[in-house]
Copies of this chain bind each other. A is one copy, B any other.
């Protein structure tokens, strides 16, 4: 259905009601892996719960407040990525993503995040894209750095994980930085 092409056979595709089963199974396969940095994933306990999550994703889109889409390789759902919210007063947004453990370390997340940053600056015409992650989430830090985001600082004890409070790294890229980088890429 409705998708944004990332590369060849990789797509960001809006999840619909009919995708609830595949989405729930993806979460189940990755529950242990994901619950470390996403403790609330444990609240989605059935296909019915997952249908409600999908409805919330679409509601977010319809309210012009960002989106969460499935990461697909061909027709297989392997992760979720999107914009957690859009702050239309300050023209900023925050990227979120997670991927099946069997597909991590293949660069797919990085490419999806690059695409989403492009959507934020070009389609939504925003001024700032943020990524926030636990200081212990090395994989996510690498993604942010590969996507050209700059380290802004650390927010102390800023999120509660299942293991207790964690300090949070803040990364960001500004519109002016994004277009400078794109120009360099194009001219090289």
Which partner residue on chain B sits nearest A128 by CB separation?
B157
Chain B neighbourhood of A157, CB < 8 A: 92, 127-128, 174
Determine whether A141 belongs to the interface, using a CB cutoff of 8 Å to chain B.
no
Residue-wise, chain A 151-188 has the 8 Å CB interface mask toward B (1 for contact) of 01111111110000100001010100000000000000
Chain B neighbourhood of A47, CB < 8 A: none
Which partner residue on chain B sits nearest A3 by CB separation?
B2
Determine whether A102 belongs to the interface, using a CB cutoff of 8 Å to chain B.
no
Determine whether A106 belongs to the interface, using a CB cutoff of 8 Å to chain B.
no
- Which of under 10, 10 to 19, 20 to 34, or 35 or more describes the interface residues of A? 35 or more
Chain B neighbourhood of A156, CB < 8 A: 128, 150, 152, 172, 174
Contact of A154 among B59, B61, B152 (CB under 8 A): B152
Chain B neighbourhood of A12, CB < 8 A: 2
Residue-wise, chain A 133-157 has the 8 Å CB interface mask toward B (1 for contact) of 0000000000000000010111111
